[in-house]
Amino acid sequence: MRAYSLLSLKVIVGFGILVDMTDSQVADEQVADETDWNRFGQRIALAVYGTLTVLGVLEATSFDEPSLTVPIVILTVVSTSIAIVLAHAWATVMSNRIVFRDRLTSASFAEELRFAAAFLIPTVLAVAVFVVAATFLSVRSCLLSAEGALIVLLFIFGFGGAKRTGASIPRCILIGLLDVAVGVAIVEIKELHSFFVH
């Protein structure tokens, strides 16, 4: 009887440990899933931010429209994007040195690469569209073409990001259109400026 009770106790304890391990594994998987989703959300947000910034740079160049040339526009967009990436990278390096008193970690370096990609990808797209359009369109029309390409990219980011989260198609379209609306608002800033100045 005593042996049976001891065996029963071992079974109960073993089952409890197994349940606890299973709960821990489930909790770890949930934390991992949440971390993955958070990272994905941050990457989409960064991609949208980079695209909107490049869109703003393109629109800002058009304020001096009479003296615009293809090389000036390309140089302005590329140099501005590179300057932003370098400034962010240097700020990250300095913050690691000052706050953590350590070198840039591999995780921080990977984050910097993602930040750079968020600016350089839309920059390359805008410059490519601008160069192609410059062969048969005016500079202003080239700017509008490049801006249009970036606005389409905004919709793709919004739609694709929402789709990845399992959202319905109507909701994906809505989120994509919201990103587009912000992009259009940035483009229209010049029109507001022209309206108040003139």
pLDDT in tens, 39-93: 777 778 888 888 898 888 888 887 666 667 888 888 888 898 888 888 888 887 7
Q: How many structural domains comprise the chain? A: 1
Whether 144 maps to a domain, the answer reads yes
3-state secondary structure of 126: helix
Whether 24 maps to a domain, the answer reads no
Whether 125 maps to a domain, the answer reads yes
- Diameter of the chain by CA atoms? 100
Whether 25 maps to a domain, the answer reads no
Q: How confident is the model at residue 101 (pLDDT cuts 50, 70, 90)?
A: low
Residues 121 and 144: their CA atoms lie apart, in Å, by 18
Q: How confident is the model at residue 194 (pLDDT cuts 50, 70, 90)?
A: low
Whether 138 maps to a domain, the answer reads yes
pLDDT digits (tens, 9 = 90+) for 6-38: 334 344 444 444 445 444 444 444 444 455 656
Whether 150 maps to a domain, the answer reads yes
Length in residues, the chain? 198
For the chain, first and last CA: distance in Å? 100
Its domain, for residue 182, covers: 48-197
Q: Is the pTM of this model over 0.95?
A: no
Whether 34 maps to a domain, the answer reads no
pLDDT digits (tens, 9 = 90+) for 115-129: 788 888 888 899 999
Residues 188 and 194: their CA atoms lie apart, in Å, by 10
Residues 160 and 105: their CA atoms lie apart, in Å, by 30
